[in-house]
Every structure is written in C-alpha cells, then in structure tokens.
Amino acid sequence: MDSQKDKKVFYVTGASKGLGLCLTNQLLKNGFYVASTSRNKEGLIKSVDEEVRNSINFLPLQVDVGDEHSVQKSIDETISKFGRIDILINNAGYGIQGATEEFSESDINVNININLKGVLNTIRCALPHLRANKFFDDGPRIINISSIAGRFCNYFPGFSVYGSTKFAIDGLSLGLRIELKEFGIHVSTVNPGYFRTCFLQKDVLVRPSKVIKEYTLVNKSKEYHDSELNNKQPGDPEKGATAIIKFALLKNPSPMLLLGSDAIRYAKMRMEEIEDSIKTNIEISLSADYDE
C-alpha cells in the first residue's frame, strides 16, 4: 500500500448513518484509508457517497461490535489490507430512552452490549496493532464517541440507562489515557450535543414497551424529543464530522472534546453544580480523614 505519512488509516465503527457516515465520506474524499463497520455491509456501501464507495481506500466491513470474534475478524481484515491502524473511532451506538423501571433486562443488556462492550471489544482487539504502530510520528489515537448524556445525563429525563453506558465510556477513556501513555497512544472522548441525525427517529431511538404514566418528567421528555427537538437539533453532522477529524489529527488531542454549543452549555452548568456541591459539603468531606 501507499506509505505516505499523511494518508492515515482510520477504523470507524457504526458508519452506515449519522456521524459515522459523515466521517466515512469525508475521510475518503480527503484521501485517507478507511475501514468502516456496520451490521449490514451492503447497506453501508449503498449509504456511502457514490463518488467514493468504490474507492480502493475504502474497506466496508460487516461487524457486530458486541461479538468479539466478529470484531477481531474485521481488525484482521483491516491489517491485511492497510497494514496498520492509525486512528480508531468508536462511533457505534444504541439509543434508548425511558425510565429505568420501564426497561426489561433484555433492553438493558442490548444497550450495554453495544455501547460499552462493543467499545471494549474494538479497543482490545485493536490494541496489539496500535501498540506496534511506529508509523504515526505523533502516536496512534483512540477516539471514543460518547455523549453529553454521559457526564451530564441529569439534564435529560429518560436517558439514565443510555447515559450510564456513555458515562462508562468517559471513565474508560480517562483510565486508558494514562494506561496507554507509555506506548504513545492518545485516548480521547468526543461528547456531542444534539446533532441533526436520525438518532431521535422513532425507528432508531428505542423506547420501552412498558410505559409507567407516573413518570411525568420522563414522559414529557419523550414528547419533547419527538415533537420539539427531532429534526431541529442545533448540531450539523457534516460540520461535526469535520471537527472530529480535525481533533483526531491534532498533535496532542485533549482528553475530551465537547462538540456543539449545547454541549459546552451543559458542561458549564455541571461544573457550577460540582463546585456548589464541594462548597456545601466541605466540612463533611474533610471530616473523614485521620486526625494526624
């Protein structure tokens, strides 16, 4: 394969729609090597822009990120075609909204399987190749697409189950950042706000079959997302993808990228709440140390 150092090899999960599809199209149009995954390979190929879907730089892969063997096979195919992975972008996700009490164990397991286990599977399978990668002078990267519903899920009634997996991704990424530092591997999260993708569409965002009417805040939140926010989200997915690529190629990407004006607004609100919590409980907090 071409060994030009500016032609990085990207591995992108969840690429058949939304930010993942925008990333795939933009990366291919900019001449990068791209291995993109989806549960439906043919659907992925059809979704990619016609001008680049047949590019020799494009490797479409059918992958179930919750299945380690499926992920490993796709990583092996990527290495076979491109020789390495420079930037891993974990974008595959499973949207779910409802009160925690409303969800079945099966609903919760699917959410965890894709949003958390899928990320762990991809990272674990890719790490031997990322650690061995001496091609990228500034070090390979792992970019995990999280959400404002992770660290800031207290602002979104009905996203506690979804937010729990995204919060876990934030924690995983912070831990991995120090764990992989000695190998020169950068680990970051991208925490998007609301983007005008299909995420809120009724055939995409999963809702529980059981509805408990007493959860008035959750039910109002469902209605708001359906009637007021869907198709009116402030984030432009094409601009979002451009920003993610720019961030991924920085010499030293920071631990977190808040993506979108709403993401920044919620982060500032949360920072104020944490500061207030520290001040309110300072005496109780400090009372737990040994008297030395």
Query: Residues with catalytic annotation?
Result: 162
**Type of residue at 235:** G
Cα–Cα dist 281/154, whole Å: 20
Cα–Cα dist 258/240, whole Å: 11
Burial of 195 (0-12, 13-18, 19+ CB in 10 A): buried
Q: What is the 3-state secondary structure (H, E, C) of the chain?
A: CCCCCCCCEEEECCCCCHHHHHHHHHHHHCCCEEEEEECCHHHHHHHCCCCCCCCCCEEEEECCCCCHHHHHHHHHHHHHHHCCCCEEEECCCCCECCCHHHCCHHHHHHHHHHHHHHHHHHHHHHHHHHHHCCCCCCCCEEEEECCHHHHCHHHCCCCHHHHHHHHHHHHHHHHHHHHCHHHCCEEEEEEECCECCCCCCCCCCECCCCCCCCCHHHHHHHHHHHHHHCCCCCECHHHHHHHHHHHHCCCCCCCEEEECHHHHHHHHHHHHHHHHHHHHCHHHHHCCCCCC
Cα–Cα dist 266/191, whole Å: 11
